[in-house]
Amino acid sequence: MEWVLFAIGLGMGVIVSVPVGPVNVLCIDRALRAGFLAGLAAGLGGVVADAVFASAALFGLSAVQGLIAEHQRMIAGAGGLILIGFGIAILRRKSGPACSDGGAADHLHAALSGFLVTITNPGALFGFFALYSGLGSYGPEPGNWSEGLALLGGTLTGAGLWWAGLSGIVARHREQIGAGWTRRLNRVAALVLIAFGLFLLGELAYALATGADTLSVIDPQEPS
């Protein structure tokens, strides 16, 4: 049964990674600027944050769920500001030719960026909760840690494969992209990050104005 759950997890890992979001933008930007390893580092930083959310959703880590639910406004506000900050940094960055892969410090910075923009998205926890709950009888048996770890391992592996593939494609063709297109792509990436950040801040402002207990990007109700 474990290998079946691992295969299901692989598909889930790709599903949660494919939609265009901040980590996709960061991954493409890093791979375009500094090659495969830099893009992969940004993606894997997001995978580490996914591991926290997926573990909490899969194994019912109520402490993590409660912490995120209790501080969701602060987390969303910080996430919005971080995304806007990354976007502004890209807009202010001088465009130049693609450079070789950076060193360990550059890769660590990329990974930290990917981790921050993911861990400050509290809705991701409930997204994993909905996905895993939706498996029904196809999911791991309650209390069966080996099956749960197989599903979790598959999810993280699938996400990692997506980031490796995306980084590889961008890095392979980055030399063919001229300076003009690089500037355009940088501008689009920056605007996308800023838009995501403004959306989070807008959700926060709406919640504060209406007195809502939760943000609309978070589903506080457990799936039936």
Q: What is the mean pLDDT of the chain?
A: 80
What pLDDT sits at residue 47? 95
Mean pLDDT (whole number) for 35-42: 92
* Rounded (5°) CA angle 121-143-148: 50
Contact 186, 90 (CB under 8 A): yes
Top-confidence residue, 129 or 112: 112
Going by C-alpha positions, the residue among 11, 29, 10 that lies closest to residue 20 is 29
Tell me how far apart the alpha carbons of residues 6 and 3 are, in angstroms, rounded to a whole number.
5
Mean pLDDT (whole number) for 190-213: 81
Q: pLDDT, tens digit, for every residue of 86-108?
A: 788 777 766 554 555 567 888 89
| CA 162 from centroid of its chain's CA atoms | 12
